[in-house]
Amino acid sequence: MPVSDGAADRVRQALFAKIPTVWLDAITITLTALLIASGRNFLKKHAAVCYVLAAAISAAVVVCTATGASAAFPAWVRSWIWPIFARSALSTALFAAVMYAGAVPNGSKLMKAVMPIRGELSIIASILTLGHNISFGLTYFRLLFTQPDCLPVNQLLAAICSLVMLCIMLPLFITSFKCVRKKMKGSSWKKLQRLAYGFYALIYIHVLLLTLPGAQKGNGSYLLTVVVYSVVFLTYGALRVRKALQKQSAAVRRIPTVAAVCAMILVICAAAGPRSADSQPANGQEQSQEEVSGQEDAAKTAESNETAGETSENGSEEEVSAEDEAETPANSGNTNAPAEPAKQPEQETQKPANEQPPAEAQKPEETAKPAEPEKPTEPEIVYQYKNGTFSGSGEGFEGTITVNVTIENDKITNISVVSASDDEPYWSESKGIISRIISAQSANVDTVSGATFSSGGILDAVKAALSSAKN
């Protein structure tokens, strides 16, 4: 049996939802290893070609992010290829290879393989990092200088950290070219290159600022990122310090390793410790939301029942009043007739059904008939959507986004996010599209620049909800 399009979409979402965490690191490490193992000779001989290619990729990242063109990429491109460059995963892996080459023991295979192309790898990584910073800076650097209060504390600190990293990276990047390095004194160049240690440390701090809050909330994707980067960077720190203490005793050389292990444990505990505590309120919150929604549904049901009851009561009252009206005109007609005896009204009231009312008694009914044609005007209002709350889902950057859309008389009154797994930097920016949709009363609005995938996922989810709400 062939797989339907809907099932295929669900399969793709299931496969691609967690790629930016588990598989992204594996892909970047593999590409870096292949570049060092198989491409180092080509990189050494044709470095300029590699620089131009890296610059083209970096420029494409900036343009596609700024224009939102990346939203038109196929799902597998956005999941498997795009994050490698847009999220600076490859450049970080290249920097890691460069820094480990200087920390491993002299004469090791890694050192022999990386040292001859260390400068070229640093230049390529710096070019790719520039594209990443420009594309993200279009949103976050702008907010940092214009509206810093709009950024959460961790994102604010991460943006500041990025600026400091750029200030350190640019001189290191320029002096990595051989033509520039030859014009500098060896001692001056070495002193300048020592800034790389601070740059590597800021990369780790930058990653922790963006991932620790999510990991503490129970997001396994962020927790895995914290663990991987802590192992990579803290192990490097231990190796680098241990190498600097080669001439010291064995006990002293073990201190960096012990310190690195302790730091890893502390960081991982800080990331994973509050997970269980935070996950419970989250579940409780979801449960409370379900309870509230259930209460709202029950209230709506009660209101409808009350309305039905009122309708039936009103109907009975109308029937009673109709009988009264039928009796009253008869009585009034009889009182106006001089030939009728005085007891006749009592007899007529006792037998209203057997006797025909006079013409004057029928006039109130005839005068009420012209008002009846107004009733059919109510069903003439045909709404495009049903009233109520409807759910819809769309594909965001890291997975499925589900929203609830509340509609009342063809008006979107509320949009609430039920679930989403996108990164916080994207997600905080993308949620502004909800107010746009409510203001425009339409899902045909532009996506948020810098958070194209997340905002596009919200739009698709709202469109799906509106589609299910159509009459």
Mean pLDDT per 10-residue run, the chain (471 residues)? 42 42 76 88 91 94 87 81 86 92 86 89 94 88 88 91 94 92 87 92 93 84 86 91 81 80 84 54 40 45 46 40 39 40 43 47 50 56 86 79 90 88 65 85 77 80 89 82
Rounded CA separation 471/381 (Å): 13
- Whether residues 27 and 164 fall in one domain: yes
For residue 66, give Cα distances in angstroms to 163, 204, 382, 452.
Answer: 19, 26, 42, 9
Amino acid identity, position 191 = K
In a domain? residue 61: yes
Question: How much is the pLDDT for 324?
Answer: 43
Q: What is the pLDDT of residue 449?
A: 62
3-state secondary structure of 2: coil
The answer to whether position 233 is within a domain reads yes
Establish if 290 belongs to a structural domain: no
Residues 42 and 47: their CA atoms lie apart, in Å, by 8
CA 70, distance to chain mean position in Å, is 16
In a domain, 374, yes or no: no
Number of domains in the chain: 2
Range of the domain at 418: 388-469
Does residue 407 fall inside a structural domain? yes
What's the CATH number where 456 sits? Answer: 3.90.1010
What is the spatial order of strands in the sheet that 411-419 belongs to?
388-395, 400-408, 411-419
The answer as to whether 318 is a domain residue is: no
169 shares its domain with 25: yes
pLDDT at residue 259, rounded to an integer: 84
By residue count, the chain amounts to 471
Rounded CA-CA distance 355/348 in Å is: 7
User: Which tokens in the block code for residue 378?
Assistant: 């109510």
Q: Is residue 176 one of the residues assigned to a domain?
A: yes
Q: Last residue of some domain: 246, 276, 306?
A: 276
pLDDT, position 300: 47
DSSP 348: H
Judgement on whether residues 41 and 169 belong to the same structural domain of the protein:
yes
SS3 content of the chain, % helix, strand, coil (to 5): 75, 5, 20
User: Rounded to a whole number, what is the distance in angstroms from the first to the last CA of the chain?
Assistant: 33
The domain boundary, picked from 258, 276, 294, lies at 276
Whether residue 129 is contained in a domain is answered as yes
What pLDDT shows up at residue 168? 95
- Which of 249, 276, 303 is where one domain is finished? 276
The pTM of the full predicted model, rounded to 2 decimals, is 0.57
Does residue 255 sit in the same domain as residue 397?
Answer: no
Residues 327 and 7: their CA atoms lie apart, in Å, by: 69
Q: Do 84 and 90 touch, CB atoms closer than 8 A?
A: yes
Residues 251 and 393 in one domain: no
